[in-house]
Amino acid sequence: MENVEKLTSMSSEELISERRRLFAEMDPGLIEFLKTRRTNQQHSCSQPALEKPSSMDTSEGTVHGDTTEVPAEVEELVNSYPNMDTVEPDKLKWIGEMPKPGPPPEDKPYNARFDFEGTLLAYADKGEGVLKGFHNHGEEQSRPGYTIQELIQLSRSSVLQQRVIALNTLAKILYNVSHH
């Protein structure tokens, strides 16, 4: 409120002078961002928020030529943030279903994977899918659980809770090994 009062008390010459000073001090990229943001906000107020870009041929969230389905929540958020007016299906693939892993290799060893209780998991989940099973986005995304190497890497995280989970899981693995 104080800023509005100050602006209304200034003369037009003072406003123009202050505007020039601000533009001279600000980063040109920031100025351009603010201008496009203002234009986009005015543009989005005059049009429906869920209008799909004309460059994409979409139908009910499914992009033709690709099997990636865009969740409705993503489409609703598209116009809520700057520079998010185009849905990029390639960047949304990680939230979808993963391909099922083949059978375990008979002639090559593979990494053992564990759950948070330190229990050794089967090579592949039992058809539950990545949303119900215990999966991560590491090298073998379609396999459930964490490897010892992934847990050690997670134990070096800068986030305290990630370190705690990793160290607790490693401790449970060692406990289970010693008691079997």
Q: Is the pLDDT of residue 57 over 90?
A: no
Q: Hey, what are 98's tokens?
A: 């993963």
CB 85 within 8 A of CB 74: no
Q: Is residue 29 over pLDDT 70?
A: yes
155-165 confidence digits (pLDDT tens): 999 999 999 99
Q: What is the mean pLDDT of the chain?
A: 74
By percentage, how much of the chain surpasses pLDDT 70? 62
pLDDT at residue 27 in the model? 84
pLDDT at 94: 63
Q: Whole-angstrom Cα distance, residue 121 to residue 126?
A: 11
* Pairing mode, strands 58-59 and 62-63: antiparallel
Confidence of residue 98 (pLDDT cuts 50, 70, 90): low
Reported confidence tier of residue 70, pLDDT bands at 50, 70, 90: low
Q: Is 107 in contact with 118 (CB distance < 8 Å)?
A: no
Q: What is the pTM assigned to this prediction? A: 0.45
Amino acid at 10: M
